[in-house]
Amino acid sequence: MTTSNPFGSEPNHHVLSVLVQNRPGVLARVASLFARRGYNIFSLAVAPTEQEDYSRITIVVDLESATLEQMVKQLFKLVDVVRISELDPRNSVERELMVATVRATAEQRGQIVELVNIFEGKILGVGPEALSVSLDGSPEKLNDFSELLKQYGIIESQRTGRVALPKLDRTARVRAVKETKGKAS
Amino acid sequence: MKSNQQLTGAEALIKGLELEKVEVMFGLPGGCILPAYDPLIKSTIRHILVRHEQGAGHMAEGYAHVTGRPGVAMVTSGPAATNLVTPLCDAYMDSIPMVAITGQVPTSAIGTDAFQECDTVGITRSITKHNELVMSADDLPLAIRQAFHIATTGRPGPVLIDVPKDVLQNMMTWHWPSDDEVIDSLPGYKPTTKGHPRMIKEAAKLILESKQPILYVGGGVLKARAAEALRELAELMNIPVVTTLMARGAFPDNHPLCLGMPGMHGTATAVTAMQRADLLIALGSRFDDRVTGKVSTFAPDAKIIHVDIDPAEQGKVRKPDVPIVGDCRLVIEEMIVALRDLMAGGTKQADISAWRSRVNGWKENFPLAYEPSEPGAALKPQYCLEKLRDASPEGTILVSGVGQHQMWSSQFWHFNEPYTWVNSGGLGTMGFSVPAAVGAKVGRPDKTVWAIDGDGCFQMTAQELITASVEQIPIKVGILNNSNLGMVRQWQEMFYDNRYSQVHFSESVPDYVKMAESMGCVGIRVEAPEEVESAIDKANSINDRPVVVEFRVAPTEQVFPMVAAGRSNDEIMLQPSQEKRRELLR
């Protein structure tokens, strides 16, 4: 399901914000559509919105724009999909969270703590030979952080996939659908 | 409509179906769906008990094809649900409105690999327009209303409702949702039906400018009940029409503007006219690979107006110059108004007379043709179809399976009315015809219904003739028996150097006459040309039971014209006697 890293500078990287009815199986529908039509998902984050009837799925895809148009149309055919917006990185706020366990001898510990502080990350746990750290921020910032940690040895790491919303001046438009009620089986 | 009426889920389900004006459903009971079969005893709904669940699905499709109303199939969980997979996919590919109801193991057993449990909504997710596992009896009425709404609006398609056994048994307070409640419950479902006025005007301008236009008519025209509007448009502008496999009958074959079917086995005229056109007006058609041949060489000089209710069809295969999302009937009607306005304002239609005479020249030189059989030699399948066509009453509904017989049926029949042709186009489901014919006859008992089948197809679903006999549904089946999987054989001849592999059926087994009789049908065997007419007359005169006519036809016959898969439409293989005139197709 994943492809080469499209974060940052890749030309075919598109971020879709998909508002869906919060119902059983909706994620499976979206995932199965991607699989069935041969589209690649790079990352995917999903959680209920401030209104419990709706969830927002942020999908990063790596596609030609003609394919993207077709993919968006196919996605919109799903009955549970209420709204799809392509988020232009220049006009949206994007965040991603990473947690990592990094090899850290007693001598290295201070260096890593310093690095975490520079990036405004957090120390989540300290062991005799390792540190657990977390960082949230733009995907690019996470990439840079991750690169710098590599020299110490990353034992395990997990990223959430990005979540994104349009920049504030555009949110009024996004809120338009909220008053509808979505209740079924 | 709130009430205090207490019903079981099963009673609510059947009551809901009645309120959706379901008159007939096709199905077969089993463990998990059992509760729903009890209130059916005193329901107004006619239930037709099939012999295999696949039959129920295809019957629902056949019913929907000829009536325009959603076909309903109800079966139990597990193997019954998986047996519905083929018809659901078939209905999805051909945009047939259908509602399927499947039983499911009780909610407490879901996920435990219980007896006859399968993940029905998971399995059918990509082959239904929508599906739903209903987890509470209170949710059933809304699920039913949503299912019928979704199946019949926008681009029609199959919707499946999966109902656990305890949901059918539990009590609920009856409530029938209003239209508004249904719409509000589906905030993500708002099909566009009215075309964009600016786009329609753009289209009208292109039509007036075009010197070589073709109306490329697909199944969407039939789904939109747009045959009359189409005829008005074609006659207003004198534009020749091709009707795809899914649209046969949408425009009368006997109309001077009709060029017949395009595509892999389409007429040389229809195929070539599309290739040479400067404008294709695609109405409810989806640029299927069987129509376009090699896409990069398809209609290279044509601008495209694409009218489709499904936005995802716009630009999927070929980028349109003027995309119009909307219902075909509404859009065509608006297009006629726009054309009339422009012409009233002084815009003149470009001169298309040279184009018309060129197209008519192709029609004269490249009619559908076959070599009649030599005296004493085996019957030709095309001959049987011509005789059947000429001897059957006006408005006869023809239902076919998939393969050579399907192509000959589409070619040699004259479809002069809409909704008289039922076949499996997109999925190409062998075995479609017998059960689909049963469903068609149930939907239109006033019409003569002929299923044309191959011997390969017939053996896949023939048992539904038992259903037809027992339920007194007098369909007629013509088997074009060539003892072969004919289309596969043709491909092995053309593309595998006559190396036959697993295409030969037995000449002697089964005995189709005995097989028919054993299922309560009349069986007739036809082996010589002089027997054809009397057999057809006899079959047409029998109306108290199904009839099976076995036509023993030449196994070597091939379908022409043909555009080989993946090749350009310009490389069309003509009927051999016409090859010498190929130059005229330029």
| CB within 8 Å of B340: residues ≥ 6 apart | B236
Question: Which two structure tokens, joined as six digits, stand for B306?
Answer: 């694409």
Calpha distance A87→B312 (Å, rounded): 21
* Mutation for A interface: B13, B126, B138, B287, most A CBs within 10 A: B126
Where is B100: in which H helix or E strand? strand B98-104
CATH, domain range A2-91: 3.30.70.260
Q: Residue A67's pLDDT band (boundaries 50, 70, 90)?
A: confident
Would the pLDDT of B3 be above 90?
Answer: no
Closest partner residue to A69 (CB to CB) among B139, B310, B315 is B315
CA distance B348 to B343: 6
Contact criterion met (CB below 8 Å) for A152 and A160: no
Question: Is B188 near chain A, with CB under 8 Å?
Answer: yes
Q: Domain A94-165: which topology? A: Alpha-Beta Plaits (3.30.70)
Band (pLDDT 50/70/90 cuts) for residue B312 is: very high
Band of pLDDT at residue A167, cut at 50, 70 and 90? confident
Work out the average pLDDT over B157-169: 98
| Average pLDDT rounded to a whole number, residues B488-505 | 97
**Cα separation of B217 and B252, whole Å?**
12
Residues of B in contact with A85 (CB under 8 A): none
Residue A71 has pLDDT above 60, yes or no: yes
Amino acid at A163: V
What is the interface pTM, i.e. ipTM, of the complex?
A: 0.90
Three-state helix/strand/coil letters over B471-511: CCCCCEEEEEECCECHHHHHHHHHHCCCCCCCCECCCCCCC
Chain B CB contacts of A20 under 8 Å are 188
Q: For A90-142, what is each residue's pLDDT tens digit?
A: 888 889 999 999 999 999 999 999 999 999 999 999 999 999 999 999 989 99
Q: What is the CA radius of gyration of chain B?
A: 25
Mean pLDDT of B321-342: 98
Q: Return the pLDDT at A172.
A: 52
Q: B316 contacts in A (CB within 8 Å)?
A: 70
Which residues are within 8 A (CB) of A87 and not within 5 positions of it... i.e. 6 or more apart? A15, A16, A17, A94, A164, A165, A166
Distance in angstroms (rounded) separating the CA atoms of residues A140 and A131 = 22
Angle at B415 (CA atoms; ends B414, B419), nearest 5 degrees: 160
* Interatomic CA distance for residues B49 and A83, integer angstroms: 42
Does the CB of B145 have a partner CB in chain A at under 8 Å? Answer: no
Residues B95, B49: contact at Cβ < 8 Å?
Answer: no
Q: Which residues of A touch B135 (CB under 8 A)?
A: 24, 185
Please count the other Cβ atoms lying within 10 Å of the Cβ belonging to residue A103. Answer: 16
A80 interfaces chain B, CB cutoff of 8 Å:
yes
A77 touches chain B (CB under 8 A): yes
Q: What is the pLDDT of residues B386-444, one digit of tens each?
A: 999 999 999 999 999 999 999 999 999 999 999 999 999 999 999 999 999 999 999 99
Mean pLDDT of chain B: 97
Is residue A176's pLDDT more than 70? no
The C-alpha of A77 sits at a distance from chain B's nearest C-alpha, in angstroms, of 8
**DSSP for residue B367:** -
Whether A184 sits inside 8 A of B135 (CB atoms) is no
Express as a percent the part of chain A with pLDDT over 90: 62
Reply yes or no on whether the pLDDT at A169 is more than 80.
no
Determine the distance in angstroms separating the CA of A161 from the nearest CA of chain B, rounded to an integer. 25
pLDDT digits (tens, 9 = 90+) for A88-102: 888 888 899 999 999
Coil/strand/helix, residue B108: helix
| Other residues' Cβ atoms within 10 Å of the Cβ of residue B350 | 15
Q: In chain A, what are the domain boundaries?
A: 2-91, 94-165
Residue A11: its pLDDT value, please?
57
Cross-chain residue pair B187–A29, CB shorter than 8 Å: no
Say yes or no: A178 contacts chain B, CB-CB below 8 A.
Answer: no
Query: By the 8 A CB rule, do B57 and B87 touch?
Result: yes
User: Amino acid identity of B30?
Assistant: G
Are residues B310 and A32, on separate chains, in Cβ contact within 8 Å? no
* Whole-number pLDDT of residue B455: 98
DSSP-assigned states of every residue in B392-419: SPTT-EEEE-SSHHHHHHHHHS---STT
Q: Dihedral of CA B535/B541/B542/B543: which sign?
A: positive
Name the residues of B annotated as catalytic.
53, 115-116, 165, 487
Q: How many CB atoms lie within 10 A of CB A58?
A: 24
Query: Same topology for domains A2-91 and A94-165, yes or no?
Result: yes
Say what the pLDDT of residue A63 is.
Answer: 83
Read off the pLDDT band of B380 (50, 70, 90): very high
Q: How many Cβ contacts (< 8 angstroms) between chains A and B?
A: 66
Nearest chain A residue to B150, by CA:
A79
User: Strands B2-8, B213-217: parallel, antiparallel or unpaired by DSSP?
Assistant: unpaired
Backbone φ/ψ region at B32: left (φ over 0), alpha (ψ -120 to 50), beta: alpha
Q: Which chain A residue has the Cα nearest residue B159?
A: A79
| Chain B contact present for A74, CB below 8 A | yes
| pTM as predicted | 0.94
Taking residue B317's Cβ as centre, other Cβ atoms within 10 Å add up to 17
Residue of B nearest to A84 (CA): B188
> Which range has the worst mean pLDDT, A41-45, B41-45, B183-187?
A41-45
- CB A109: neighbour CB atoms within 10 A? 18
